Structure 1
Amino acid sequence: MHFALALLVAIIVWRKGVWREWSKYHTTMMFFAVGNVTYNFLTANYFLWKMKPDFFPNHSITEMIYSFITFPSTALLFLSAYPESDTFKAVIHHVKWILIYVLIEWFFTTNDRMIYQHGWNLWWSAAFDVTMFPILRLHHKRPILTYGISVVLCVFWIWMFDVPVNVPIEQRHG
């Protein structure tokens, strides 16, 4: 299912022709990728959510596909179709993408392709998505401001779910 999603998103990017605009949105696409890689690094022994591999051999490869294909491609799709001058349409655009992400995640959890741990659930994911899409838009317009806001949000999530980021490396791999 994870491979199918990555393939589907790549096909949509190609069919819509938005791949031609990749350089305009490249920094935000990479911001999204780095965010997912950072999550995987910080929570390596304390995942709040985890993709269960299907086509790919393990969790790490599955997450690399998300980090470097699925998430950058969805950022490209989200930003390239963003309604610049109409606030109502922009809100609808955000809601549409939040619903897409929540529905895909719901499908994955009900089909045992994604698991939650340590108190995380679909509602927390929806709350995360509600912040994530505006952050992606803000990053495209004001990246420096977004880095500061992202650090604050990251600290909040780490605190909220008591993620043990200060565990010595020797204990993490032992």
Structure 2
Amino acid sequence: MINSLYGLSWLAILFIWGDWKNWKRYYPTILFFILGDFLYLYLLSDEYPMWRYAPPAADKDLGLTNTHISLSIIAIKYPATVLVYLSHFPQGKLLSKVLYYFGWLILYLVNEMIDLHFGLIDYFNGWSLWWSAVFNAVMFFILKVHFEKPIYAWLLSAIFIIFLWNRFDVPLRVFR
């Protein structure tokens, strides 16, 4: 139920503020965003998770799992995020760019705090709300970079993944 509300909220955000009429312009960055989560799901989600979504009882009764919730986020929240975040990114002064960027960080952080409060997400292997905030800060920066200069985003992502991999001592067994 709660996941349906999240999905509907992000769809509303998409249709109210998103540049969905020009979705093709943002499509490569949407795919880039989605690929990152697919890599996490494939490599870490089962073997060495940092976080997992915990469906509430009503959703569990319907058979929903972490994977179902992750796929709904990938299908709805990520495209909506890209189509709104990038289409409204300020062009002018640095201060407005920084405030806009931090607004998105706060939005994602509040979303995760709500999830934590209601037991909809669990952390593992040293991950925390603090690490989610750091991750989101890097993620939103890299999404903007990808939109403008994709090759730099790939390089920055590789560096950040290597950093996280070492910081969280991810075992090689995740490569299955």
Structure 1 length-normalised TM: 0.91
Name the CA distance, whole Å, in 2 between partners of 1:111 and 1:167. Answer: 29
Name the CA distance, whole Å, in 2 between partners of 1:127 and 1:42. Answer: 20
Equivalent of residue 132 in structure 2, options 121, 125, 132: 125
2:85 pairs with 1:78: yes
- Asked if structure 2 preserves the Cα contact closer than 8 Å seen for 1:21 and 1:80, the reply is no
- Asked if structure 1 preserves the Cα contact closer than 8 Å seen for 2:18 and 2:80, the reply is no
- Asked if structure 2 preserves the Cα contact closer than 8 Å seen for 1:42 and 1:165, the reply is no
Name the CA distance, whole Å, in 1 between partners of 2:11 and 2:172. Answer: 34
AA in 2 matched with 1:94: Y
State the match for 1:47 in structure 2.
49
Structure 2 length-normalised TM: 0.90
State the match for 2:20 in structure 1.
19
**Structure 1 spans left out of the alignment, 5+ residues:** 170-174
Residues 8-55 of structure 1: per-residue CA shift (max 9 Å, x gap): 111121123521121111111111111111111120311101111243
Name the CA distance, whole Å, in 2 between partners of 1:28 and 1:168. Answer: 26
Name the CA distance, whole Å, in 1 between partners of 2:130 and 2:68. Answer: 26
State the match for 1:38 in structure 2.
39
Q: Which moved more, 1:14-23 or 1:93-102?
A: 14-23
Residues 81-137 of structure 1: per-residue CA shift (max 9 Å, x gap): 100122111100110000000111011011000011111110111111111111000
Aligned length: 169
Task: Give me the CA root mean square deviation.
Answer: 1.5
Q: Which moved more, 1:137-146 or 1:54-63?
A: 54-63
**What is the identity percentage for the equivalent residue pairs of Structure 1 and Structure 2?**
29
